[in-house]
Amino acid sequence: MGSYCFLVLALCVAQTLCVTIESVPGVDGNGVILTELETTVSLVCRSNRSEGEGAELVWLRNGARVALREGNRKGQSAVCVMPVIHQDNGATFTCRLSSNATVEASATLNVTYPPMLSGSDDVWVEDDSPLVLHCDTFANPPVSSVRWTLNDSALDLLAGGFSVTDDGFASRLSADKAERSKHEGLYRCIADSPVYGIKSRDFLVTVTEKTLKFPLMPIIAGGVVVCLTVLLAIVSRWKKIIKCCK
């Protein structure tokens, strides 16, 4: 990122009332500031009115007023976005005269970030149970393609009974019933970003034997019934038990 300063949407002609925005990093000809996550964006707004003429400035973020300190309003005003986060992407900052809302200038943030793909996960799934793998592909600009491999070979969706869905935020690989011979191995999700290149994440899938699951609640209910039956039997024969003990 170069620390260039440009004037954006100046709207100025000789002896005409105007405000201008300068930014680090710089603003392109379309009023867009290109930046990345975790960086800092500094915006400075200036009016061609002198401070003595009461040129009070107002900042808006997506139409909502930004709170400014008392000494940061007259003639010149600055705001700082630090650090830049995902929610700042597409945010428009507008500076205008408090006394004349038609005199304004704007700049919009374009926050770029890669898909969060790296490292590996160990995944255990029981035989005959569903296998589901999630790959985060959320990025700006969007990734150009996503593909899956198994043991470094192209994934055969039909042979493995796989389905792949992609909603722009994540790619989801799934199979209804896991089988050791078909589904065990090293999976890799590979996303191609037009800005950040190839990003990938690994999933080491192990298919285990199916465990017998006992119906816990019916067992507990049956035990309660048995205990109550024994207790009632003891109570009903309590007098006879006492006579036998005398």
Taking the CA atoms of residue 174, residue 178, residue 183 and residue 188 in that order, the dihedral angle to the nearest 10 degrees is 30
Same fold: 19-112 with 120-208:
yes
Would you list the domain boundaries of the chain?
19-112, 120-208
Task: Round to whole Å and give the CA distance between 190 and 212.
Answer: 36
Task: Round to whole Å and give the CA distance between 231 and 165.
Answer: 58
Q: For 69-114, write each residue's pLDDT tens digit.
A: 988 988 889 999 999 999 999 999 999 998 888 889 999 999 999 9
List phi, psi (to 5°) of 239.
Answer: -65, -45
Task: Round to whole Å and give the CA distance between 59 and 48.
Answer: 16
Q: If you ran DSSP here, which 8-state letter would residue 48 be given?
A: S
Q: What sections of the chain are H helices per DSSP?
A: 157-160, 180-183, 216-236, 238-245
Which CATH architecture is the domain 120-208 placed in? Sandwich (2.60)
Taking only the tens of pLDDT, the chain with its 246 residues reads 333 333 333 333 333 567 889 888 888 989 999 999 999 999 999 887 655 555 789 999 999 999 999 889 888 899 999 999 999 999 999 999 988 888 899 999 999 999 999 999 999 999 999 999 999 999 999 999 999 999 999 999 999 999 999 998 999 999 999 999 999 999 999 999 999 999 999 999 999 998 765 555 666 666 666 666 666 666 666 555 555 555
Does domain 19-112 fall under CATH 3.30.465.10? My reply is no
Task: Round to whole Å and give the CA distance between 218 and 220.
Answer: 5
